[in-house]
Every structure is written in structure tokens, then in C-alpha cells.
């Protein structure tokens, strides 16, 4: 199992378009992938758009990206890179 903590830094947080990008990236991997808010422990399936939106992760929220499976390292890296790039918004790079 791979786990990494990342902070949501884009101004609008994990809004609908950003969540859609995250789910799209998550679904490229075979691993089971979860996102957990560090402040309250709420955990959701990263491959579910509804689940990701229910996190209501605003700017500044810390999330744990947790993956388990054959491609878990690549999955955690890709999702963290997407979040750290501010989802390709605000001049950040996309993955």
C-alpha cells in the first residue's frame, strides 16, 4: 500500500472540473485508490466523481492519497502530481 499526503493549493479547491480530472486520472490505474481528508478522516473512492465531490476539499485541505494494487506507486504519484499542479489551472502543469 502506498500513501502520501498532499495539500490542495488551487484557489477553488477540489471543485467539479478538478474532481473530474482527478477521477479520470484515478481510473487509468488498476489499483484501488482512496482519498482521505486529514482533518476528519472522511475517506472516499478516488474513482467516484460523487465521492470526490463529497470531500468538499477547499484550498488548504490536506488529503491522503492511498493506493493498493499492482500500479499503486504510479497511481499515487500521478494523483499527487495532478493536485500539486493545481489541476492544470492557475498556470500549473497538467499530467
Kindly list the catalytic residues: 15
**Separation of alpha carbons 9 and 59, rounded Å:** 5
Please choose, from the candidates 82, 77, 84, the residue with its C-alpha nearest in 3D space to the C-alpha of residue 95: 82
Q: What angle do CA 73, 28, 93 make, to 5 degrees?
A: 75
Amino acid at each position: 500500500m502506498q500513501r502520501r499526503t498532499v495539500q490542495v493549493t488551487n484557489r477553488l479547491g477540489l471543485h467539479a472540473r478538478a474532481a473530474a480530472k482527478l477521477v479520470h486520472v484515478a481510473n487509468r490505474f488498476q489499483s484501488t485508490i482512496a482519498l482521505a481528508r486529514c482533518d476528519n478522516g472522511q475517506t472516499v473512492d478516488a474513482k467516484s466523481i460523487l465521492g470526490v465531490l463529497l470531500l468538499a476539499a477547499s484550498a488548504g485541505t490536506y488529503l491522503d492519497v492511498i493506493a493498493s494494487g499492482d500500479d499503486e506507486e504510479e497511481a499515487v504519484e500521478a494523483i499527487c502530481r495532478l493536485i500539486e499542479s493545481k489541476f492544470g489551472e492557475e498556470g500549473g502543469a497538467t499530467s
